[in-house]
Amino acid sequence: MKRFDEFMDEALYGASGFYVRGGRPAVRGGDFATSPELGTLFAQCIAGYLDRVWDELGRPDPFVVVEGGAGRGTLCRDVVAHVVACRDAVRYVMVERVDSQRGDARAAIGKSGISGESRVPDDSLARIGDADVPERVVAVADLPVGPLVGVVLANELLDNLPFRLLERSASGWQEVHVERAEPAMAMPQVEEGHDTSEQEIVQPTAGRAAEVLRDAPADAAAMAEVMAPDAAPGARVPLQLKAAVWVRRALRSLERGRLLTFDYGVRRTAELAQRPQSEWLRTYRSQRPGHDPLDSPGTADITCDVAFDQLPPGATLSTQAEWLAAAGIDSMTADARALWQRKRSKPTAAALAARTLLDEAAALTDPDGMGAFWAAEWHVG
Ligand X SMILES: C[S@@+](CC[C@H](N)C(=O)[O-])C[C@H]1O[C@@H](n2cnc3c(N)ncnc32)[C@H](O)[C@@H]1O
Q: What span, in angstroms and rounded, lies between the C-alpha atoms of 146 and 131?
A: 10
Point out which span in 68-76, 107-115, 315-323, 364-372 binds ligand X (CB under 6 A). Answer: 68-76
Q: Which of 8, 86, 94, 101 binds ligand X (CB under 6 A)?
A: 101
Residue 251, interface with ligand X (CB under 6 A)?
A: no
The reply to whether 156 sits near ligand X by the rule CB under 6 A is yes
* Residue 174 touches ligand X, criterion: CB under 6 A: no
Q: Which of residues 111-150 bind ligand X (CB under 6 A)?
A: none
Query: Binding to ligand X by residue 97, rule CB under 6 A?
Result: yes
Q: Is 157 in the site for ligand X (CB under 6 A)?
A: yes
96, 167, 175, 360: which one contacts ligand X (CB under 6 A)?
Answer: 96
Q: Are 74 and 163 in contact (CB under 8 A)?
A: no
Using the rule CB under 6 A, is 320 a contact of ligand X?
no
Residue 76 is a binding residue for ligand X (CB under 6 A): no
Exactly one of 8, 95, 251, 315 binds ligand X (CB under 6 A); which one? Answer: 95
Q: Is 373 in the site for ligand X (CB under 6 A)?
A: no
Closest approach, Cβ 35 to ligand X, in A, equals: 6
Q: How many CA atoms lie within 13 A of 50 on its CB side?
A: 34
155 near ligand X, rule: CB under 6 A: yes
User: Does 108 interact with ligand X (rule: CB under 6 A)?
Assistant: no
Looking at the Cβ atoms of 17 and 150, the one nearer to ligand X is: 17
The contact mask relative to ligand X for 2-41 (x = CB under 6 A, - = no) is -----------------x-----xx-------x-xx----
Please select the residue that binds ligand X; options are 48, 69, 293, 371, rule is CB under 6 A. 69
SS (H, E, C) the chain: CEEHHHHHHHHHHCCCCCCCCCCCCCCCCCCCCCHHHHCCHHHHHHHHHHHHHHHHCCCCCCEEEEEECCCCCHHHHHHHHHCCCCCCCEEEEEECCCHHHHHHHHHHHHHHCCCCCCCCCEECCCCCCCCCCCCCEEEECCCCCCCEEEEEEEECCHHHCCCEEEEECCCCEEEEEEEECCCCEECCCCCCCCCCCCCCCCEECCCCEEEEEEECCHHHHHHHHHHCCCCCCCCEEEECHHHHHHHHHHHHHEEEEEEEEEECEECCHHHHHCCCHHHHEEEEECCEECCCCCCCCCCCEEEECEEHHHCCCCCEEEEHHHHHHHCCHHHHCHHHHHHHHHHCCCCCHHHHHHHHHHHHHHHHHCCCCHHHCEEEEEEEC
- Give 75 or 228: the residue with its C-beta nearer to ligand X: 75
Question: Is residue 98 at the binding interface for ligand X, with CB under 6 A as the rule?
Answer: yes
Residue from 68, 238, 293, 298 in contact with ligand X (CB under 6 A): 68
**Which of 4/340 has CB closer to ligand X?**
4
101 or 269: CB nearest ligand X: 101
* Contact with ligand X (CB under 6 A) among 44, 160, 320, 333: 160
Which positions touch ligand X (CB under 6 A)?
A: 19, 25-26, 34, 36-37, 68-69, 71, 95-98, 101, 155-157, 160-161
